[in-house]
Amino acid sequence: MPNITTLKCTTCAKEYQPEELDYTCPICGPMRGTLEVLYDYDQLTKDLTKASLQQNHDFTHWRYLPLLPIIKKEYIQPLSLGWTPIYKTQDLAARLGMKNLWIKDDGRNPSASYKDRASSVAVVKTLEKKAPTITAASTGNAASSLAAFTAVAGLPTVIFVPQDAPKAKITQLLLFGAKVLRVQGSYDDAFDLCCTAAEKWGWYNRSTAINPYLGEGKKTGAFEICEQLQWQVPDYVFVAVGDGCIYQSLWKGFKEFHQIGLIDRVPKLIGVQAEGASPLVRAFVAGRDTAEPVQTDTFADSIAVGVPRDQVKALKAVRESNGRFIAVDDDEIKKAIALLAGKAGVLAEPAGATGMAGLMKMAQMSEIKSDESAVVLVTGNGLKDIDGVMQASEQQSVLVENDIADVAMKFKRLP
Ligand SMILES: *Cc1c(COP(=O)(O)O)cnc(C)c1O
């Protein structure tokens, strides 16, 4: 592969060539043996520079191609993704006692979540490997994202989701033409079933963490934060955490940009879980390097993960980055949805607003200083889960007669 040197096991550090295997280290197994994609960083220091980026007019995440695991560029699908807007917020920052707060809205990707960064890469890998079919287990967003890209590529796609995944995500899947299997069970059950099916029928598996290339797509959010903020790295980055793949990938992204000399420091990464699905918070607090499985209970469906598949890398990343994993409850997430919508004009699904809820909590506990800067990553659009998001609204609409007198009367009652 262009700049890739090896795939390195997160646990035993054994190195493999990319042609040797597709998923995880056979010695350490699926959970501990996730692979890290390593590049020729000396070469990249020459190839990927501020000057080269300044001359690059591709404002999608493919602008970072030298640091992506793509062999055949012709397999990149034309859906436009990445380089999502980053907003400096004044009012919102002031409310939290801060001066420098940015919201990066990844709900603006083609299927409306951060997962598009990973799926766009997975589709290229499927085509490169000439796999006949691709599959994924997902709480909903990874699947709907994959299905959007495979629709364009014309790739047969089989999806395993928990039976009660939000309707909008199922709708996306069906219209993008995926075969959708709703598993009677949790996301964690769907994950195991998907892996068994992939092995049985030889499908390429885009399920998170076991596939080393997904995180490569997901790290581009970190690259964009650096570049969009003119290389002024923020003190903190807040992001929601389920399996931990986005979290560890962001960390890898910042580390890589640091290593090739594009930034002179790295942020503290704050991973935010829903209290009802917080195995990584517990492991972090207990100082463990793996997580105990939990039963999940949260309305933030995208992060309702009881067995985080990228736990080893995520727990390593939190220590390396001097970051933290913290938990917020569903009410705190609802407040964050309302604040993001009401003050920044960004409608987030519950998991999409969870990073914000984490910042609100830390600000409230005076754990952020007023002169410290933060970026909050919004990972999914609110229209993906209207029933969930509606729970955050304090307002109700008012029904009026088609009559100005009735409007005059009822308008007065609106808060
Ligand atoms: C998947 C997802 C997350 C969490 O990502 P992980 O890699 O599972 O930690 C957060 N927010 C949204 C909207 C997601 O779809």
CA–CA separation, 217 and 226 (whole Å): 16
Q: Which of 243, 333, 381 to mutate to test the pocket of ligand 1 (most atoms within 8 A of CB)?
A: 243
Q: Is 301 in the pocket of ligand 1 (CB under 6 A)?
A: no
pLDDT score at 270 = 98
CA–CA separation, 235 and 337 (whole Å): 23
Q: pLDDT tens per residue, the chain (415 residues)?
A: 578 999 999 999 999 999 999 999 999 999 999 999 999 999 999 999 999 999 999 999 999 999 999 999 999 999 999 999 999 999 999 999 999 999 999 999 999 999 999 999 999 999 999 999 999 999 999 999 999 999 999 999 999 999 999 999 999 999 999 999 999 999 999 999 999 999 999 999 999 989 999 999 999 999 999 999 999 999 999 999 999 999 999 999 999 999 999 999 999 999 999 999 999 999 999 999 999 999 999 999 999 999 999 999 999 999 999 999 999 999 999 999 999 999 999 999 999 999 999 999 999 999 999 999 999 999 999 999 999 999 999 888 899 999 999 999 998 878 7
What are residue 182's DSSP bridge partners?
Answer: 161
Q: Is 278 in the pocket of ligand 1 (CB under 6 A)?
A: no
Residue 380 CA to ligand 1 center (angstroms) comes to: 8
Q: What confidence tens digit (pLDDT) does each residue in 371-390 have?
A: 999 999 999 999 999 999 99
Q: Which of 302, 376, 385 to mutate to test the pocket of ligand 1 (most atoms within 8 A of CB)?
A: 302
Q: What confidence tens digit (pLDDT) does each residue in 389-400 have?
A: 999 998 888 999
Q: Does domain 86-110+214-390 have CATH number 3.40.30.10?
A: no
pLDDT score at 395 = 86
Q: Is 241 in the pocket of ligand 1 (CB under 6 A)?
A: yes
pLDDT score at 124 = 97
SS3 86: strand
Q: Cα dist. 248→31, 100, 177, 219 in Å?
A: 14, 24, 31, 8
pLDDT score at 13 = 97
CB 198 within 8 A of CB 128: no
Atom of ligand 1 at shortest distance to CA of 209?
7
pLDDT score at 346 = 98
**pTM metric for this prediction:** 0.97
pLDDT score at 155 = 97
Q: What confidence tens digit (pLDDT) does each residue in 208-226 have?
A: 989 999 999 999 999 999 9
CA–CA separation, 67 and 250 (whole Å): 13
Q: Is 215 in the pocket of ligand 1 (CB under 6 A)?
A: no
CA–CA separation, 180 and 118 (whole Å): 20
Q: Cα dist. 39→36, 200, 320, 378, 387 in Å?
A: 10, 32, 19, 28, 43
* Strands, sheet with 15-16, edge to edge from the N-terminal-most edge strand: 15-16, 4-9, 35-39
Q: What is the dihedral of CA 304, 307, 312, 318, to 10 degrees?
A: 30
pLDDT score at 414 = 80
Tracing tokens 């009660």 back to the chain, one arrives at 164
Atom of ligand 1 at shortest distance to CA of 245?
7
Beta strands 35-39; 134-137: pairing state: unpaired
Residue 246 CA to ligand 1 center (angstroms) comes to: 7
Atom of ligand 1 at shortest distance to CA of 239?
10
pLDDT score at 413 = 79
Q: Cα dist. 227→61, 99, 353 in Å?
A: 12, 20, 23
Atom of ligand 1 at shortest distance to CA of 140?
15
Residue 55 CA to ligand 1 center (angstroms) comes to: 32
pLDDT score at 133 = 95
* Strands, sheet with 236-240, edge to edge from the N-terminal-most edge strand: 86-89, 100-105, 373-378, 236-240, 268-274, 324-328
Atom of ligand 1 at shortest distance to CA of 348?
13
SS3 228: helix
Beta strands 236-240; 268-274: pairing state: parallel
What amino acid occupies position 202? G
Question: What does the angle CA 108 – CA 71 – CA 179 come to, to the nearest 5 degrees?
Answer: 55
pLDDT score at 168 = 95
Q: Which of 312, 379, 385 to mutate to test the pocket of ligand 1 (most atoms within 8 A of CB)?
A: 379
Atom of ligand 1 at shortest distance to CA of 384?
13
Question: What does the angle CA 366 – CA 369 – CA 372 come to, to the nearest 5 degrees?
Answer: 140
